[in-house]
Amino acid sequence: MLEKGKKYECKIVDMGQTGVGIGKHEGFTVFVDGALLGEVVDVKIKKSKKKYAEGVVSKIKVRSPYRVDRVCNPKYSNCGGCQIQELDYEKQLDLKTNIVKEDLKRIGGLDDVQVFDAIGMDQPFRYRNKAQFPVQMEDGRVKIGFYRKKSHDIIDMDKCVIQDEKNDLIIDIIRRYIEEENISIYDEKTHKGILRHIVTKVGFTSGQVMVVLVATEDRFKNLDRLIEVLKREVAGFTSLVVNINKDKTNVILGRKNINKYGRGKIIDNIGDLKFEISPLSFFQVNPIQTEVLYSKTLEYADLKEGDRVFDIYCGIGTISLFLAQKAEFVYGVEIVEDAIKDARLNADLNGMDNLDFFVGKAEEVVPKIYKEGKRANVVVVDPPRKGCDERVLDTIVDMEPDRVVYVSCNPSTLARDLRYLEDRGYRCEKVQPVDLFPHSVHVETVALLSKLDVDKHIDVEIKLDELDLTSAESKATYAQIKEYILEKFNLKVSTLYIAQIKKKCGIELREHYNKSKKEKQVIPQCTPEKEEAIMDALRHFKMI
Ligand code: SAH
């Protein structure tokens, strides 16, 4: 075991998913914050365990050829925003590609899926259209900036090189306003004070700018003066909103918005489409790479005339609208009501009427609208970090779309969900990581899954003439069971599924059920919903 507080020499042999260097000291594993692959460093131990230790670099003895200087300010090296800014950008992309490959292998057991190299940016700076700066008061001094790594201390900053340049100017103006008007600043510990966060949103193509002051109360002195300065000095300034958040919470924005200047919204374009963005609506933070991501999604969806699409976890309908340019019809599903309002508005704004949106939890709404008869032959999902709920995946499996395009912000839940679909009749064809967040360890990924043609891909031979010769007293043919289920439940079930359930119920099958000799034989498993329907049919035909 290494001793806490002491320094040890380590050689960095790998990099972890959080951007941390994985080092060895005499064979013992040490996770080293601030160290890059290939470096030899002295590390100060912060945490010591039996099998590993964690620490921070105290001295770089052999510098990685891929180490580059921080572009913003050496003082910001503890900023929690950019974990890997000091790693050469090409190497950042390699790291992200590897993160995706490894998760697919380790978690999804997907060894031979084609994973392309992450698509990066030509100019990986000044790419963010949204900033959220916490504000604190320390010894009578205003601090506006970013949280220090693993803490709620603020690193005061005057420029952030991943943000749109206008944000540096806005922070400067608001800092002056706070000082001159003696604005009360919120204190997390005592839960007293007013101003908590400054949030800005910038439209990259429209140039429009919205500033949101997140506060416990709508009580700002001489706000008109601030508005005048913002109008005069910030090109494109169109909206000032006070957002009320009274809760003891880490969630930045509250529910209530009060427009102080302008419409409380900005417009931006992605590709040929226009979007209205409000303070609460989710909009990807890197508009340049978002276009790359959505174009890839559209390419993988490979829409043809007459295709109908589900866009699950649709936010303000960005991907839905992209798809609706080609699809016959798109159904979007999203949990945030305001986002769905925006989605409908956005469809109108772009003169599109081949979309319909549903509010609610995807795990409830998707099975419900499927039962009501809504169908798609292409499904797109873009879930939050925790991935898709199984009820969503089960409904997709039941619906049997030809293609599923999975857009993911978390490779590990992506891998888990791809495995789930692979076990149920889908094959992951290809995977494309896209770098939406240069200098952070985050990566977006698009994966294409295609429905396996059961007859072609699954060597299960079922001799139909023998199928209905069961030992049950009463029996129905597979065709009758299928017909009954389609009529009663509006569900299509395969012969294979019926055979599986019959077997489960102890009904003797005389069909040959020959598995192929191929390794990793994929046999789709009947979903709970279809199982229930088949059981109902078996009961109806008095077979059980
Ligand atoms: N496709 C959109 C948004 C993707 S982010 C875009 O590209 O802009 C994921 C979205 O899932 C968010 O809008 C979030 O509000 C929504 N979400 C989270 N949990 C959900 C759930 N259980 N059901 C439906 N939507 C959910």
Cα separation, 50 vs 287, whole angstroms: 45
Predicted local confidence at residue 503, as pLDDT: 83
- Which residues form ligand 1's pocket by a CB distance below 6 Å? 282, 284, 313-315, 318-319, 333-336, 339, 361-363, 382-384
- Would you state the pLDDT for residue 151? 82
Query: Is 520's pLDDT higher than 70?
Result: no
Question: Which of 129, 276, 313 for mutating ligand 1's site (highest number of atoms within 8 Å of CB)?
Answer: 313
Q: Which of 270, 311, 334, 355 for a ligand 1 pocket mutation test, highest count of atoms within 8 Å of Cβ?
A: 334
* Cα–Cα distance, 133 to 126 (Å, whole number): 16
Atom of ligand 1 nearest to the CA of 362: 23
Rounded to the nearest angstrom, the distance between the alpha carbon of 260 and the centre of ligand 1 is 29
Q: What's the chain's average pLDDT?
A: 90
| Residue 472 in this model has a pLDDT that exceeds 70 | no
The residue whose CA is least distant from atom 20 of ligand 1 is: 335
Residue 37 has pLDDT above 70, yes or no: yes
Q: What is the mean pLDDT of residues 88-117?
A: 95
Q: What's the confidence (pLDDT) of residue 98?
A: 93
Q: pLDDT, tens digit, for every residue of 373-415?
A: 999 999 999 999 999 999 999 999 999 999 999 999 999 999 9
Residue of 282, 369, 434, 445 with the most ligand 1 atoms within 8 Å of its CB, for mutation: 282
Active-site residue, 409 included: yes
Which ligand 1 atom minimizes the distance to the CA of 384?
9
Q: What is the average pLDDT across 151-166?
A: 89
Confidence of residue 467 (pLDDT cuts 50, 70, 90): very low
The per-residue pLDDT for range 124-143, each reduced to its tens digit, is 999 999 999 999 999 889 99
Q: What is the distance between the alpha carbons of residues 174 and 230, in angstroms, rounded to a whole number?
A: 9
Of 10, 72, 314, 409, the catalytic one is 409
Q: Is 50 exceeded by the pLDDT of residue 254?
A: yes
What's the full length of the chain, in residues?
Answer: 544
What's the 77 CA to ligand 1 centre distance in angstroms?
Answer: 32
Q: Give me the sign of the Cα torsion angle 347, 348, 351, 357.
A: positive
pLDDT of 246 > 80? The answer is yes
Has residue 453 got a pLDDT over 80? no
How far does the centroid of ligand 1 lie from the alpha carbon of residue 150, in Å? 26
pLDDT at 462: 47
Q: For position 464, what pLDDT does the model report?
A: 43
DSSP type of residue 192:
B
Ligand 1: distance of its center to the CA of 284 in Å? 11
Q: For residue 448, what are the β-bridge partners?
A: 405, 430
pLDDT of 212-235, one tens digit each?
999 999 999 999 999 999 999 999
Give the tokens for residue 375.
């169908």
Confidence of residue 470 (pLDDT cuts 50, 70, 90): very low
Closest CA to 183 of 195, 171, 173, 200: 195
Question: What's the distance, CA 287 to chain centroid?
Answer: 15
- The CA 411 to ligand 1 mean position distance, Å, reads 16
